[in-house]
Chain A
Amino acid sequence: MHEKVQKKLKILADAAKYDVSCSSSGNSRSNSRGGIGNAVAAGICHSFTDDGRCISLFKILMTNHCIYDCAYCINRRTNDRARATFTVQEIVDLTINFYRRNYIEGLFLSSGVIKNPDYTMERLMLVAKKLRLEERFNGYIHMKAIPGASQELIQNAGYYVDRMSVNIEIPTEQQLEKLAPEKNYPSIIRPMNQISEGILAYKEERRKYRRVRKFTPAGQSTQLIVGASPESDRQILQLSSNFYHQQQLKRVYYSGYLPVNTYDQRLPAIQSPPLVRENRLYQSDWLMRFYEFSADEILTSDQPFLDLDVDPKLAYALRNLHLFPIDINRADYHMLLRVPGIGVQSAKMIVDARRFRRLTSYHLKKIGVVLKRAQYFITCNELAPRMTDWEPQRLKSHIVAASQMKRRKAGDTQLMLFHPTMNSPAIPKQLHSKN
C-alpha cells in the first residue's frame, strides 16, 4: 500500500510543479481549541527545491487525468503520460502527516478535470471539508476553482479554504480560444467574479455581525503563462493591474512558458523558458504592489516590452531623468522609493533617520542603500550627483557595464534580488512568553 501512494505522489507532484504559486501568506488565524494548526500572516517557507523555489504548501494535483486538451499543458489528454488519481482520504492523510512534522504550512490542491467540472470540484471541496471538520485542521488551504463548476460548489469550497484561485493562463481571450478551444473566457472570469463578490460580501457582513462564516479570508490569486502567446508585457501588466484594483486579487503569478508540448504548432518554438522576462515581470509586479508604481509608469504605449538588460525601476529612472537627482534629506517617501538602489526598508529608514541629522553617503551605505546604483540619481549633503547631464542611453550602458563587471565576480545574483519566493519569513508576534 505504501508503494502505491509513493508512486501516485511522484506522478501527481511532478504534474503540479508547473504551477508557480506557493505563497501561504495573507491570512493569520490561531488554532482553535484542541485542533491542529494555525496560519501565519507572512507565510513560512519550509524548504527550497533545487530550482530555488520555496516550498510552503504541499502542492499536489488530485488527478492528472484530464478531459481537456489545452495546448500549453503537460497534462492534456492527448499526451501519453503516466496518470494517477488520489482518493480524498489519501490527500487528507498526507497533508496532516506532513503538517505534523512541520514540513508544510498547508495544502495547495489543484486538479485536472475528470468526468466534468462539477464532479472534480466536488472532490476538491470534500478534501477541504474533511480536513477542516474531521481533522480539525487550521492550517492553510489554497484551492483551485475549476472553471465551469457550479456556483454552489465554489461557494461551498470558499467556506473551507483560505485562498482560491482561477488560473487565467493565457492573457487574452483571442489567444485563449486558440490554445484552449474547449475553455472559454467567461468560464474563467465568472468564478473569479463570484469569488471576489463572495469576499466583498463576507467583509461587509463582518462589519455588521460578530460571527460570520469565513469566505476565502486570504483572498484570490491567479496565474499567467508568459511566452506561450504573443501578448506584450504592457498588456500583461495592465491585466495584472486590473486584477489588483478591480478584482482585488492578492497575487498574480507569472510562469515562463516551459516548452512541454513542442509538437504543437500553435506554440512558439523555444528552447528554454523565458526566465529573464519572467523575472522582469515579477519585478514590475513588485513595483506595483510595494513601490507605488502604476502599470503606465512602468511601460508606456511606445514601449510595449520590458527591457531585459536593466530592471524596470532603473529603466523608469532612465526614461525620467528630469525627475532626478533628488535630495535624500528632503525628498518624500514616494520619491525615495523611485530611486534605483533604494528599497522599501532603506527608504523607511532614511525617512526616520534624517529627523535626527543630515544624512551623508556614509550613512546611506550603512543603512543598506546600493550607492553604486543610487549615486546617479541622488544628492545628499556632500555627495554631488554624478553625470546627470549624460544622455539616458549613455548612462544606461555605463550602469549596465558597471554591474556586469560586478556580476561576473559575484555570479548571477541579479536575478535573485526580486525572486518571487522572497517571502519575508514570519516572526511570531509574542516572542517572549514561554508558554
Chain B
Amino acid sequence: MAYLIYDGSFEGFLSVVFQCYQQKLSPTNICKESDFQEVLFAQKQTIPSNPKQAQRVWKALQKKLHRRNQELPLRAFLSEHPGIEMMLYRFIRRVFDTSFSIETDYGDSDVLQLKKLERKVLKETARLLQFVRFQETSDGIYFAPIEPEFDVLPFTLHHFKDRFADQQWLIYDLRRDYGFYYNLKTVDEVTLSEKAFSTIDGKVNTNLLEEKEVHYQKLWKNYFDSINIKERKNLKVQRQYMPQRYWKFLPEKSPRIKD
C-alpha cells in the first residue's frame, strides 16, 4: 500500500516508473506533491526527480512504441487528467512486460482512455496553430498571447519557426507565465518580469504597436464580417469549432475594434 509522491513534472513521473522497477514497488497511487493529502495508515514515499533515470525510461519506451505512439505518454500526461499517473503507469508496465505490441488494444480501458486523452491534447495543440494572433509591435516583434488548456506551446514551435522564419515573434502563455521568443535564428524560452501588455487579454499597449497594426486588425474584422452569409447563420457550429475561450484573443471577435 504505497503512495508515491513526485514533483509533478513529466521527468519526475518517469523517475517514479524507474524506481518502481528498481525497488520492485507496486504503487496504489502516484500523486503530485501539490495534490497530496495525508491518508491515514498509508505508506508514503517521495521519489525525487532524476533526469538520468527519466531518460532511461523514455529511451526504453521509444524503442518499444510504434512510431505513431512515441509521443503518446507525454501528450497524455499533459492532459492533467485525474488519475493519469496510474493509467500511464499501468500502460507503461504492460508495454515493457509484453513481448508483442499492446498499443492498439482498445478493448483495454487504459489504452483507449490514453488514446483519447492524447487526442484531446493534440486538439488543443492544433487550436494554437489556428487561433494564435500576432500583433506587430513598433520594434518589429510579432507578439501573440495564448492561454491553452494544456501546456502545449512547446509542441507548436517547430511549426511557427518554419512558417514565420523571417519575422521575430514571441508567443506567450499568460496562464503559465512563460513563452518562446524567436530572434530569427533560435527559439528561446522566456519569462517576462515586466509586461507591456494586458495580462488578461494580451492586448499590447497601443503606444507600443506598429503604426499600421490597428489598421490591419480593422481590415481583418471587416473581412470577417463581409465574408459571412447572413442567410446561413449558424452560431452553434461557430462555437463548436472556435471555442469561446479563444475569442478574446481574436481581433475579428473583439467588440473594441470598429470601423
Contacts and interface: CB of A to CB of B under 8 A. Distances in A.
B139 to A, nearest CB: 15
B163 A9 contact: no
B102 A45 contact: no
Contacts of B259: 6
B220 A101 contact: yes
Contacts of A53: 229, 232
Describe A's contact surface by its main secondary structure.
loop
Given A31-B163, A36-B164, A102-B144, A356 B102 contact: yes
B195 interface: no
A88 interface: no
A434 B216 contact: no
Contact of A52 (B104, B108, B231, B237): B237
A434 B187 contact: yes
A428 B132 CA distance: 15
Contacts of A13: 222-223, 226-227
Given A31-B162, A102-B133, A353 B105 contact: yes
Contacts of A45: 130, 241
A16 B227 contact: yes
Interface stretch (B24-32, B33-41, B83-91, B119-127): B119-127
A28 to B, nearest CB: 11
Contacts, number: 199
A102 B247 CA distance: 15
Interface string A423-435: 0011111111111
Contacts of B235: 50, 52
B224 A55 contact: yes
A427 B71 CA distance: 13
Interface in A90-120: 94, 97-98, 100-103
Contact of A435 (B136, B142, B187): B187
A48 B236 CA distance: 11
A2 interface: yes
Interface stretch (B1-9, B49-57, B152-160): B152-160
B167 interface: yes
A145 to B, nearest CB: 22
B130 A51 contact: no
A421 B134 CA distance: 24
A432 B237 CA distance: 32
B108 A100 contact: no
B233 interface: yes
B173 interface: no
A357 B104 CA distance: 11
Given A6-B222, A13-B223, A359 B240 contact: no
A315 interface: no
A433 to B, nearest CB: 5
The residue among A54, A349, A427 with the most chain B CB atoms within 10 A of its own CB is A427
A14 B227 contact: yes
A363 interface: yes
A365 B32 CA distance: 32
B227 A101 contact: no
B219 interface: yes
A59 interface: yes
Contact of A101 (B122, B133, B159): B133
The residue among A16, A18, A47 with the most chain B CB atoms within 10 A of its own CB is A47
Nearest to A412: B236
A203 to B, nearest CB: 25
A187 to B, nearest CB: 28
Interface string A357-380: 101000100110000000000000
Given A48-B238, A430-B158, A367 B232 contact: no
Contacts of B125: 427-428, 431
Contact of B234 (A38, A52, A102): A52
Contacts of B189: 434
Given A6-B259, A35-B166, A435-B186, A51 B232 contact: yes
The residue among A9, A100, A103, A355 with the most chain B CB atoms within 10 A of its own CB is A103
Contact of A6 (B135, B159, B218, B229): B218
B69 to A, nearest CB: 12
A55 to B, nearest CB: 7
A101 B250 CA distance: 11
A44 interface: yes
Nearest to A19: B227
B255 interface: no
Contact of A49 (B134, B163, B228): B228
Contacts of B112: 366-367
A352 B112 CA distance: 12
Contact of A9 (B71, B162, B222, B236): B222
20 contacts: A13-B227, A17-B229, A38-B162, A40-B129, A48-B241, A51-B233, A51-B238, A100-B164, A101-B134, A258-B229, A353-B105, A356-B104, A356-B105, A356-B108, A363-B106, A416-B237, A428-B158, A428-B159, A431-B158, A435-B161
3 A-B pairs closest in CB distance: A52-B237, A425-B126, A352-B104
Given A47-B242, A435-B186, 4 more contacts: A13-B222, A47-B131, A411-B236, A425-B130
